[in-house]
Structure 1
Amino acid sequence: MVSAAVLFLLTVGSVCGKATAERKLVYVTVLFRHGDRSPVKAYPTDPYQESAWPQGFGQLSQEGMRQHFELGRFLRDRYKGFLKESYDRHEISVRSTDFDRTLMSAEANLAGLYPPSGQQVFNPDLKWQPIPVHTVPQSKERLLSFPLNDCPRYQQLMNETEHTEEFLNVTVAYQDVIDLVRNKTGLKKTSVDSVWNVYDTLFCESRHNMSAPDWVTPDVMEMLRVLKDFEFRIIFGVYKRQEKSRLQGGILLGEIVKNLTKMATPDPEQRLKMMMLSAHDTTVAALQSSLDVFNGRQPPYASCQIFELYRDNGSASVSMFFRNDSTVAPYPLQLPGCPLDCPLEEFVRITKLSISDDRDKECELPSKGRDKEVIVSLVVSGCLLFLLITLLLGIICWQKEPVGNRGYQHVINQEAGEES
């Protein structure tokens, strides 16, 4: 009896061990927000204008550098045995938006991920090595910077969002704090979707031990935080979330899905193992909203969205994780309608609803499109009608004119031509 039980346990253990061994991590995409920074701007009455910040507005702070160095070390530990200990340019590709804070965040992250060793040490006193970070000019950025403002249909959706019941209710509920911000900051106009910039400035100043004005009480800060989070929901959801996703975050999601699909097919010559993307809070929110996993809160500094692609006995699956707190392990994210370990074909099928096949066409305003078709039809119809009327008048005139007169006139014309 004991021998049979032992044999059973050994069999189960062997099967489980085999199954575990066959499930293999083959590709990872990480998207993160930059680290702690100075405010992007100050409000008119702010006592801390740009000169109060060592590098000016919108710049990565020393704390932001530490946050990303720590995130890089976390990625080193998580993918130990998957990524080589030393930097290999074929294994990782890094892209950033063209902002100082995102470029520097990527560099600090890579310093933690790939501390130099052996032949990669070029200065014994410097535990760092240069690793390329690619970017494109901000004017041409269409993958990592959201919301994009090149889409008339999206602007129409945003206008419609401001007339929804939820938006109007929030406006009424927080009208007092909206008015307070306008009166105290010197801003000429404030609204639900603009006061969050004031919160961002106050938040940055508080993190850097700068005293807040007397009117900025804890209650005011909490109300501004609520409005700030609501703004993120407005931009990518609240109203027609999926259509907004197709015009915004779905662009990035489509690129990620395309890469996952490509990497799922075994290719001995394919050496890329990680795609690293350095961007912004709105980028993370846009992507998560397109996946319908956004929690409605502004992604914190150095937060990191992870996609892991696994192969198992010829099939592939995708697991997602979100790291928004350095003190705890990343928590799993479940794509609605799919298990945590989501089969790739299901992942592709579900996310397809948030990915546009022709964004330019979808960005056209529906009414303008119909008006254009009507105008073209009227012009074509008008031209045909004009030609038909001209032809009919010509035939009528020709039939009414006497034959002799027609011939006589022709002779006169000839003679006139010869005389001239």
Structure 2
Amino acid sequence: SGLFPSASEWPVVTTVPGKEEIMRPNSKLFPRMGELFKAGRSHWQARPDGDAYAVAGLLKERLPPDTYDAFGLDSYKFVAIRDLLVSMDAHGMALPWNITSPLLERIDRLGGLEVEALLRGGSWHHHLDTSRLATGAQLAEISARLLKTADNMEPTLDIYSGHDTTVMPMLIALANNFDGRWPPYASSLVFELYSDQTVRILYNEVPVELAGWPGADYIPLKVLVNIIQMVTPDIAKERLGGEASGVRGDQF
């Protein structure tokens, strides 16, 4: 209660051109991201999860050769086949190629780990750069909204409808306890702001543990803002102005 005015209002809907989209990794907006993903893919192909070899072998036995090659499974690319099979399974369709539920679970897991490798790469610098470009602008917008609400202390509710490629980069950028699993259907990431200037982040109703704050469900807002500032690209700082520049000295 208290989130909406007593009188009805027309909803405000904002859209942006695809090349300016910030709710998913967008190489048109940030061309360098393509270079980072290429480096991350090389890292994954050189050091994939141990189960990748076995699963690729099982799929080679089941899939027609041209289909196997089209998915790029010799290079341990599991994302495309994972998308197809998980979508079919979610809609109650029979899985092709004698794919069993246990094998689907392994493919699903490897698809998530592959994307995590693209984003994390083999170094902290790769992780920081891809986080900045893949999700930093969206996180900066959320941070600015949290700061604005903290200033006004009026109950608000902001809802974003995104994609799995929205949720996963955010988790990789922020979460210390992310397990690398692909976000399931209807996943949610919730940022809760409390009157004592603390924040709790929930991923599918489970508290997100931020790096440097092990075991802490609630953290000071200024801590989250400073973490997000580390992964905020310059283009977002320019667009949001001072709202994205961190916590003002008179705020806390």
Tell me the matched-pair count.
225
Matches of residues 122-133 of structure 1 in structure 2 within 5 Å? 132=11
> Corresponding residue for 1:357?
234
- With 271-280 and 174-183 compared, the bigger mean Cα shift is at 174-183
Q: Verify: 1:234 aligned to 2:234, yes or no.
A: no
Greater strand percent: which structure?
Answer: 1
Tell me how far 1:201 sits from its aligned partner. Answer: 1.7
> Corresponding residue for 2:146?
260
Matches of residues 166-177 of structure 1 in structure 2 within 5 Å? 166-170=44-48, 172=53, 174-177=55-58
Correspondent of 2:206 among 309, 312, 331: 331
Q: Verify: 1:134 aligned to 2:13, yes or no.
A: yes
AA matched with 2:149: M
Aligned-pair Cα RMSD in Å: 3.1
2:151 & 2:14 partners in 1: Cα distance? Answer: 28
TM-score scaled by structure 2? Answer: 0.75
Tell me how far 1:169 sits from its aligned partner. Answer: 3.2
Sort the Cα spacing of 1:213 and 1:86 in 2 relative to 1 into closer, same or farther, 3 A: farther
Identity of aligned residues (%): 27
2:167 & 2:135 partners in 1: Cα distance? Answer: 9
Q: Deviations over 1:65-89 (max 9, x none)?
A: xxxxxxxxxxxxxxxx353597865
Tell me how far 1:219 sits from its aligned partner. Answer: 4.7
TM-score scaled by structure 1? Answer: 0.47
Sort the Cα spacing of 1:188 and 1:308 in 2 relative to 1 into closer, same or farther, 3 A: closer
2:76 & 2:68 partners in 1: Cα distance? Answer: 17
Correspondent of 1:296 among 174, 180, 193: 180
1:224 & 1:188 partners in 2: Cα distance? Answer: 16
Q: Verify: 1:155 aligned to 2:30, yes or no.
A: no
SS at match of 2:3: coil
Q: Verify: 1:210 aligned to 2:93, yes or no.
A: yes
Q: Deviations over 1:271-321 (max 9, x none)?
A: 660110001011011112221343311111111111111223xxx221111
Sort the Cα spacing of 1:359 and 1:177 in 2 relative to 1 into closer, same or farther, 3 A: farther
Higher relative contact order (CA 8 A, sep 6+): 1
Tell me how far 1:137 sits from its aligned partner. Answer: 5.0
Give structure 1 stretches of 5+ with no counterpart: 1-80, 90-130, 324-329, 361-420
- With 349-358 and 276-285 compared, the bigger mean Cα shift is at 349-358
Say whether the 8 Å CA contact 1:179–1:190 is kept in structure 2.
no
> Corresponding residue for 1:278?
161
Tell me how far 1:225 sits from its aligned partner. Answer: 1.6
Q: Which has the greater radius of gyration? A: 1
2:203 & 2:5 partners in 1: Cα distance? Answer: 24
SS at match of 2:152: coil
Give structure 2 stretches of 5+ with no counterpart: 238-252
